[in-house]
Amino acid sequence: MKNVSRIIPCYSADTSGVCSALYELGGMTVTHDASGCNSTYATHDEPRWYDMQSDIYISALTEMDAIMGDDEKLIFDVVSAARDRAPAFIAVCGSPMPMMTGVDFDAVAAEIEARSGIRTFGMHTNGTRSYIEGASEAFLDIVREFVTDCPKGGLGVRSPLNHEMSQTLQRPSPISDNIGVNILGMTPLDFPWRGTMDSMKRFVAESGFEYVSCLAMGSSLDEIRRAASARVNLVVSFSGFAAAKYMKERFGIPYVCGVPFGKKYAERVKCYLNWAAEDKECDTVNERGGEPCDIVIIGESIGAVSLASALWHENGTHARVICPLPTDREILADYDLTLSAEEDIERALHDLAPKTVIADPLYRYIVPRGTRLIELPHFAFSGRCFERDMKDLIYCDIPF
C-alpha cells in the first residue's frame, strides 16, 4: 500500500511544525486534540521544552466534544487562557479528530479573536501532513500579520568577490557591507537547537551582512516585526519558502535558498546574497557537478541541496538528493528525486546503487547492504533518539 511505512518512521506532523515555528514568538498555540497528545508536539518534537518556556496548550478534546461538535467549549477555554496569559497572538491547530468532524478553524479563530481582541490564526493542520506544511503556514501567517514595510538598511559598500569565482560566473560586482539579512525557515526540527544560530550569526557577520531577524529560532517577535528592513532573505528550509515568496511580492525583498554549510559553499551563499540584494533576483545556491552521483542525500530539500553543493565545492564529489518532503521542483536539480513512499525510496536506493548514502540513522534499514551510510540525524525524523549526534555544519569544515 502506498505511503505506508513498514520500516522507517514518518516525519513530524504539521501540528508539530506549527508549534516549533511559533515556539519562541510569545504567542499561544492551542491544539484541538485529546489530552496527552501535547507531549508529542511540545516535548517529543521539541528540544527547547526543558530549557525555554512557551505557551503550548492542548484542548483536551473528549469523545463527547467530538460527537457534539462543541466548538463553544474550545473557544471559551482559549479566550479564558488568553486573558490570563496575554499572548501576542493565538494559533489554533487541528488534529485528526477535528479533521474527521470537520471543525472550521477559520471560523473558530475569528470567534476567539472577536472575543479576546487578540489576533488569532486558524491553522489548517490535521496531523496527517508533514511539519514543513505546518511550519510554512505558521511562518506565512506571522509575516503577513506582523511584518510591515519599513526603510531598508544601508546601501552597502562594494567589495571584490573571490577573483576566480567572479570571473567564472560573470555576475555583477556585489555589495558586501551592511546588507540586512533575514533567516527564514529555521526550526529545531531541521537544525540542532544549540549552536546553530551562533554559527549562522557568525556567517552573517563575517560575510559583512547585518543580521535582522530569524524566522524563528533565537529571534523575538519584535525582531521579526522589523524583517522588512532587510534587503535579502536567506531561506534555509522549505518551511520558510512561502514566507519568502510573500515578502518578495509584498516588500520586494529577494530571497536566496541555501544553508551555508562548509566554508567554500558558504562563500557561494554569500555571493548569491550579495547578487540578490543588488539585482533583486531570487535563486537557489545549487552548484553541483551533475551525474553520475556516488552519493545520495536523503532529507529536506533546501538542506539536502545545500549539503550536496557543499560537498562538490569542498571535495568535488557528486551527490543526488532524494527529498521525501514537500518542496518546489525549482529548488532541486533535474536528477534529484521527490519520493515520499518508503517503497519508492527503497527501490530508488537499490536502482541507483550509490556508494554512500547520507541520511538520518533510521534510514539504515532501507539502505542496501554494502552501501556506506553517513549518519546525519534529523530531529523531524528520529526525534530525540540521536539528538546528541546532530551536526552543525554551518560555516565550518564538513567532517565527511
Partner 1 sequence: MIKIALYGKGGIGKSTCTANLAAAFASLGKRVIQIGCDPKADSTINLLGGKPLQPVMDYLREHEDDPERIEDISRIGFGGILCIETGGPTPGLGCAGRGIITTFNLLEQLELFERYKPDVVLYDVLGDVVCGGFAAPIREGYAEQVLIVTSGEKMALYAANNINSAVKNFEDRSYAKVRGVIMNRRNVENEEEKVRAFAEKTGLEITADIPRSDDIIRFEDMGKTVIEGDPECETSKRFFALARKLIEEDK
For partner 1, the closer CB: 115 or 245: 115
By the 8 A CB rule, do 293 and 320 touch? yes
3-state secondary structure at position 232: strand
Question: How far is Cα of residue 245 from the mean position of the Cα atoms in its chain?
Answer: 14
Edge-first strand listing for the sheet containing 356-359: 337-338, 319-323, 295-298, 356-359, 372-375
Question: For residue 338, how many other CB atoms are within 10 A of its CB?
Answer: 16
Nearest distance, CB of residue 103 and partner 1, angstroms: 7
Whether 128 and 4 have beta carbons less than 8 Å apart is answered as no
User: Given the complex with partner 1, which of 15 and 286 has the nearer CB atom?
Assistant: 15
Helix (H) or strand (E) holding 358: strand 356-359
Work out how close the CB of 133 gets to partner 1 at its nearest, in angstroms, rounded to a whole number: 13
In what helix (H) or strand (E) does residue 58 lie, and over which residues does it extend?
Answer: strand 55-58
Q: Rank residues 106 and 281 by Cβ distance to partner 1 and give the closer one.
A: 106
Please say which residue, 97 or 366, places its beta carbon nearer to partner 1: 97
Cβ 113 to partner 1 shortest distance, Å:
11
Q: Which of residues 125 and 237 has its CB atom nearest to partner 1 in the complex?
A: 125
Helix (H, G, I), strand (E, B) or coil at 197: helix
Residue 3 or residue 162: which is nearer to partner 1 going by CB? 3
- To the nearest whole angstrom, how small is the minimum distance from the Cβ of residue 286 to partner 1? 27
Find the shortest distance in angstroms from Cβ 114 to partner 1.
7
Which residues, at least 6 apart from 261, have a Cβ–Cβ distance to it below 8 Å?
A: 306, 307, 310, 393, 394, 395, 398
Nearest to 232 by CA among 207, 262, 265: 207
Q: Find out whether 109 and 121 touch, Cβ atoms under 8 Å.
A: yes
What is the distance between the alpha carbons of residues 20 and 216, in angstroms, rounded to a whole number?
Answer: 9
Supply the minimum distance, in Å, between the C-beta of residue 104 and partner 1: 6
* Residue among 106 and 149 whose Cβ is closer to partner 1: 106
Residues binding partner 1 (CB under 8 A) = 2, 69, 100-104, 106-107, 110-111, 114
Shortest Cβ distance from residue 321 to partner 1 (Å)?
A: 22
